[in-house]
Every structure is written in structure tokens, then in C-alpha cells.
Structure 1
């Protein structure tokens, strides 16, 4: 059974999301310790959501509630968040609802800025990290691969991705009223990751040319060379702050880069600018919220930016939702078909075992030829085709048990015993064996 623990901008405040993001490694480790329940996991942590996609070894309805509580307790303990607070600020999806939610998330339909383009890459990197950790099961791999294809379909067939703006661009849109001339604005960029690159591109689109970069981890010179801007020395942060009209932070560090005391020190430097705007795009926060108490400092953080997120583009979002709904329906149908796969494999084995036994007897009598054997095997395959098609039809209609019972009644095949005797296959292998 698939299970998804989700806490996002729709259900939680940014303080709680920040705590979850800070403790993501500990939460991932805590989930892996529940190997008696959790057989696989993929953890997605972004600036406005924290989600754990899990495969649970508890298929019975009565056990699902126990599994859900165990997951909530693991997340609560690892993040140091009260269980009741966490429960009130999160949502839990199970079974097919997990796929539908993931498809919508990956397609940008659940983002603060509907249609923003960064989320698909973030989901892909979450899957890659889980693969590296060895925590991806075949079912999690399948649902994430379908999510990726669905996202590409939404991007190619609707206008939602082009209509949607990234969080970076939305933040700079909000900054427009404070900036009279982007070409004359002195900008300090804090951070050197993918978000820093996106921020620099958005700044240049608006005409900003005077941009310098500072890195808490010492990567500023390398980033500056590759992006044709000037680096700030590791001991030059305070002076750079004093000289900057706009500060954009997007670092992955877990501690504040800009504290109240650091910025207060910058304000006292000779020739320091009287006013500056600070945009904090980091999660965890890069900027101490107390800096907004300083005279001449205005702070835009993710929580403030989210409040100004634009209304979605209705037509594009509706078209995208239709694609997501169709993908979710097909995923449900494919998953339902898997319920009859063991019976199809068992039936196919039974038929060909009988055929092989008869061919061996004929060979023992000196009867038959290669052409006859090939014809008999072809006939067996033709005869199995209609039951295979019918089995999948029954499964899609929620009546897989009728086919399983029919195989047992007509051929005396014990599907469960046969499945238990075979090596465990992936979903793809099972489908190939049944075809």
C-alpha cells in the first residue's frame, strides 16, 4: 500500500515547514528504522512543502490506521514537533490518492505559484536521492515515473507552465514597487545553488547588472566565474551588505546567514546605504526575522511572498487538472490489473506445463515433429489471449476476484501457492510473465 505524509503551504505555516525541512535527514532515517512497516520511501522537501511517499506492508484496512499513526509518530519524534500539532498541519493520502496527489504536485498544480517550473526537478532529485539510499521500491519507482511523464504532458499540452511564475520571479514582482531603476540597483546574492542561478537570471531579465555573490560555504568565486559576476570575499559580507540596495538570499545552510547583529553592523559602516530590501528565499530561513526591526530594512520572506501569490490561470489549470485526472485513472486501472497478474501467470504456467508433458509423452512414442510442437504452442497462446484480456477487464471494473476464483474452479490452480513458489518479481516482470 502506498502512503503519503504531506505538510505544505496549504496545511501548515512556514515555521513548521522550516522545522520539517531542517530535520529531513533525521526523518528519513527514522522512517527507515520502521522496516517492519515501511518497505520503501521517497522524501520531498521544498520551500513550501515536506512530503514522505512510502510503501507500507500493511494492506488490510484495519492495519492502515496503525501504520498511519506510526508514520506520524516517527516524523513527530524526529522533527521534535508535538504529534497533535503535526497532525493538524498535515494531510495523509493512501492507495490511489497518493498517485493523484503526486501527479498534481509534480505538474505544479499544488504549488504556491500554480504552474511553477521548479517542482518537477525537485521531485526528480528526491527520487534520485532515494535511489542512492536504496529506499525505492518497484511500486514507488513506477508511481514517480508516471508522475514525471504526466508533468511533461502538462507542460507540453497546456499553457500552465508558461503562465506560472517561479517563487523567485514572484518575489521580484513584489520588489518592483521598491526599485526605481534595476540597472542602478546594487544587488547582493547570497547562495550559489540552482536557486541562486534562477535568481540571477530573473534579476538580469529585469535589467540588473550590478550583482555580486556571497557564499557561506566559500563557493562564491567559482559561481562568480561561471556567471560573469563579482564574488564577495568570505570576510566581506558586512561591507557588501552596507553597499547593497537589494539582498537576495537562497542558500541551503541551516543557520541564519544574516542575523540582526550582522545587518546592524553593516548599517553603521561609513557610507552605508540608508535603505535596503532583503528577500529571503531560503528554507530553512537564511535571514533572522528580527532584521525587519532595524530602521531602513524591509524583509520579504517566503511567508509574505506566499500571501501575494496570484490567482491561477483558470483555463490552463483546468486543462492540466484533466490530464492529471486521466493519468491517475489510468494508474488506478493499471494497479488493479496487477491483482490478476498472479492468476494469469499461474494459468499460463498450468497450460504450458500440461502442454510440455503431452509433448514429452509424444516424443517418447516417437510421434510429433518440430512443426507440430510449434503449432501446439501457438494454439495454447491463442487460447490464453481471451482469458488474459477478460481478466484485465474484470480487474479494471473492480472484479479481479471473479477471475481468480474462475481459474481455481476450472483448472484447479491454487494461485496463492503458485505465487509463493515463484521468485519475487517486480511489477514490470510480473506483467511480462503474464503477457
Structure 2
């Protein structure tokens, strides 16, 4: 049995391309049915499959007797309306131990945009449940995912992978938490709708603030981001009039000039009766005029400020990652050992069937002897001798056939199987 994976994520593919392969949870079932039915039944009967689709990644996991990566790439490219060559240039293909290592790292948060984040684990469990419901998840993939969940749990309980800030956005949340006692009571405004803001919204949304708003030059793009997190979208032109509503402002646009000026912030503070404002400027060049930092009730942090916070956790972060990788290595070895043993299952089933057949034959013979009045001791002796002869017949026949080299090899095998000492 082989396992393979095809995927693209935030590090390999641009947002627009990822969007072509995004599947909502209610689309997973029909998509899996389409994928499985696309495999030639002769060479790939009953392919197991699962699809993980989030805002940052789309990954297909399959299991079958033979790896079919080219077919999987072709199917996904067609579903997204792109050429297979384009998809390949932005995708990664993995099989067996590489696929296992990848899914373990994904579950553990090591492959996420936000290192150590726990959201992906819930998304993976939803994907597995969807595959189970449609009958696409067989024994092999079920083992792969259940083991990935177990590895993720061990990583989170045995390391501090999620305890340290690993990005500008995480650092911003940490600093905001130092200013506001309870972030659930804050109103947060995000200016822009690019990847950095997307990451920042993800971090702040995890703290469940009172409200989230997205101000963007293009309202439609802002609405898409706001909808994902249950927030509202507003036009950038409305920002000065509404700035006073927000306790936290995070900005990152591509503007070449500041879009939040000193005067606008002064008016907002006055309307807020000088309640503090926490502001983060992630843009280069600046989105917020530097003079704002001098205002008494404003706590303004720039990219350089946040970089210092990020670097403080560097040593602890690397130690946690190293510990997590050790746990993942052990998980991969265990899964591959299990997968290797799966190849012996048909032989084991045949051996058990043969043993049952011998047992049934000897039991029938014993009953006949008892019915004829034979003593119990004699019947048991005959039954045990019959079973022993049946078990030894094949081995004895092999010992007396073939050339000398073959007989020597057979002798070593039989000795290993039948003459093992009990430990």
C-alpha cells in the first residue's frame, strides 16, 4: 500500500491561484467522489482520498496499491481550470514517509503561516470527518490521520511550540494584551486586506475581540476578509470619521504616503476622552505618521519595534521546533512500520484460514472417534498428532527438496520459525 499527497500553500502559490483550488466544507463530499471516480478502476481500485482545504492551503491525500501522482495533478489542474505544468510549478508532491512527515507537521502547526497555531488541527479533523462520511477514508488514510492527531497532541503537550511569538502579528497581539487587560472587550480596526493583515486578523480573532472591522480601498476585498471572521467592512475614506470607535488599529497597505495622520488621531483621542489607543504600523513605507508616537495616549509600534519582540523568543522557539521534529520523526517511523506490515495482511489471513481448516478437520475426526467409543486420552493423542503432522508437513517437504543451498536456507528459516526459545 502506498500513500501520496499533492498540495499547494501560502509558501508555494499566490493567493489568486490558491483560490482556484479552494473547496468549502460542503463541497468536499462531491469533490472526493469526483476524484475517486476519475482513477482507472483496473490499476487503482477503491482509492482512499481526503482533501484539506483552508485559506492557506489545499492538499489531497490518497492511498492505493500504486502511486498515481501524475493522475492526481491532472485531475486537480482540470478542476481549477489551469494547465498541469502551472499547477506543478506551485505545488508539492510527496509520497510514503515524506507524505506522512508532511501531514504530521501540518497537524502540529509546523507548516502553518502562524507557527504552532491550533486552528489547522480542527480544520483537518473536519476534512477527515467529511471523507469518512462519504466513504472515501479507508484503513490506511484513517491510520495516517489518527496518528497525525496523536503526534500533534504530543507536540503541543510536550513542547512550547505555541507559546512564543513567531510573527509580527503574534507580537502585536502580545503587546496589545499588555495594554488591555481583556482583549475580548476591545474593538479592532484593520487597515488593508493583504496577506499581512490577513495574518494579523487571524491572530487577533483568536482572542475574540468585541468587534472587528476591515477598512480597505477596495470594499469588495475588505468584505471577503471581514466575512471570514464575522466582522464588518468599511471604505478607507470613512476611516477618519470612525477612528475614535476603535481601541486597536493595525495597518498595512501599499500606500506610498501615510494614510493615518496626526490630526486624525488627535481628533479621535479627543472623542475617546483620551482613552488609550494601541496602534501597529506594519507598512513600509509607513501608514501612520511618525509624529503620532509622541501623543500621550497612543501606543504606536512599527515593524522595527515588533521585530525586537519577535527576536526575543527566537531561542525558545527553535528549541521547541527541534523537540517537535523529534516527535514527528518517531511518528513517521511508527507509521511506516505499520504500513510495511500491511503488506503481510493477506498472508496472515491465509495462514489463519488454513489453521482453522486443519483445526476443523481434526475436531470432526475426534468427534467420530468419541462416537465410536474411543477413550478420551486416545482421541486427544490422535488429534494432537494430526494437528502436528499437518503443521509440519510443508516444512518437512521443503527440507527434502531442492539443492544443497536451497535446503540450507530452508533449514535456517525453519529453525528460526519453529525452534525459537520462549523469552
Aligned: 1:44 with 2:52: yes
Q: Which residue of 1 aligns with 2:160?
A: 159
1:125 is aligned to 126
Shift of 1:326: 0.6
Shift of residue 368, structure 1, vs aligned partner: 6.4
Aligned partner of 2:287 in structure 1 is none
Q: How does 1:241-280 map to 2 (within 5 A)?
A: 249-252=225-228, 258=233, 263-264=235-236, 266-267=238-239, 271-273=241-243, 277=249
Secondary structure, in 3 states, of the residue corresponding to 2:21? helix
Work out which of the residue numbers 326, 345, 349 in structure 1 matches 2:349.
345
Q: Could you tell me the TM-score, scaled by structure 2's length? A: 0.60
Aligned to 2:62: 54
Which residue does 2:71 correspond to in 1? 70
Query: CA offset at residue 252 of structure 1?
Result: 3.3
CA distance in 1 between counterparts of 2:167 and 2:382 reads 61
Aligned match of 1:202 = 207
Cα separation, 1, equivalents of 2:6 and 2:352? 39
User: Counterparts of 2:382 and 2:113 in 1: how far apart (Å)?
Assistant: 61
Whole-angstrom distance in 2 between the partners of 1:49 and 1:85: 16
Q: Distance in 1 between matches of 2:353 and 2:186?
A: 73
| Distance (Å, rounded) in 2 between the aligned partners of 1:13 and 1:293 | 23
For residues 348-400 of structure 1, what are the alpha-carbon distances to aligned partners after superposition, in whole Å with 9 as ceiling and x for unaligned? 221231232122112112246599869979x979x99xxxxxxxxxxxxxxxx
Does 1:14 find its partner at 2:19? no
Q: How does 1:87-236 map to 2 (within 5 A)?
A: 87-163=88-164, 169=170, 172=173, 186-187=187-188, 199-200=204-205, 202=207, 211-212=210-211
Aligned to 1:296: 259
1:279 and 1:300 in contact (8 A); partners too: yes
Structure 2: 5+ residue stretches without partners:
192-199, 261-279, 284-302, 392-408, 418-423
Is the contact between residue 17 and residue 49 of structure 1 (CA under 8 Å) also seen in structure 2? yes
1:333 corresponds to which of 337, 349, 352: 337
Gap regions ≥5 residues in structure 1: 205-210, 216-236, 281-288, 385-401, 411-435
Distance 1:151 1:212, change over 3 A: closer
Structure 2 residue 323 is matched with structure 1 residue 360? no
Quickly say closer, same or farther: Cα 1:369–1:53, change in 2 above 3 A: farther
Cα distance, 1:173 vs structure 2: 5.9
CA RMSD, 1 decimal: 5.1
Deviations 1:140-194 (A, max 9, x none): 1111111111111111222223236699635646999xx9xx899743599xxxx
Q: Secondary structure at the match of 2:59?
A: strand
Match of 1:324 in 2: 328
Task: Give the 3 Å change call, closer, same or farther, for CA 136–248 of structure 1 in structure 2.
Answer: closer
Deviation at 1:51, TM superposition (A): 0.7
Look up the SS of the partner of 2:22 in the other structure: helix
Shift of 1:92: 0.7
Are the counterparts in 2 of residues 248 and 279 from structure 1 also a CA contact under 8 Å? Answer: no
Deviations 1:208-242 (A, max 9, x none): xxx43579xxxxxxxxxxxxxxxxxxxxx99xx9x
How far residue 295 of structure 1 moved from its aligned partner, in angstroms, is 6.9
How far residue 9 of structure 1 moved from its aligned partner, in angstroms, is 2.6
What's the CA shift for 1:203? 6.5
Deviation sequence 1:1-24 (CA, Å, 0-9, x none)? 221111123322333223322688
Given that 2:184 and 2:207 are in contact with CA atoms closer than 8 Å, whether structure 1 keeps it comes out as no
Structure 1 contact 43–52 (Cα < 8 Å) conserved:
yes
How do 1:295-314 and structure 2 match up within 5 A? 296=259, 313-314=317-318
- What is the TM-score of this pair, normalised by structure 1? 0.58
Tell me how far apart the structure 2 counterparts of residues 115 and 107 of structure 1 sit (CA, whole Å): 7
Work out which of the two has the higher radius of gyration on C-alpha atoms and give 1 or 2: 2
Partner of 2:87: 86
Structure 2 CA distance, aligned partners of 1:42 and 1:71? 12
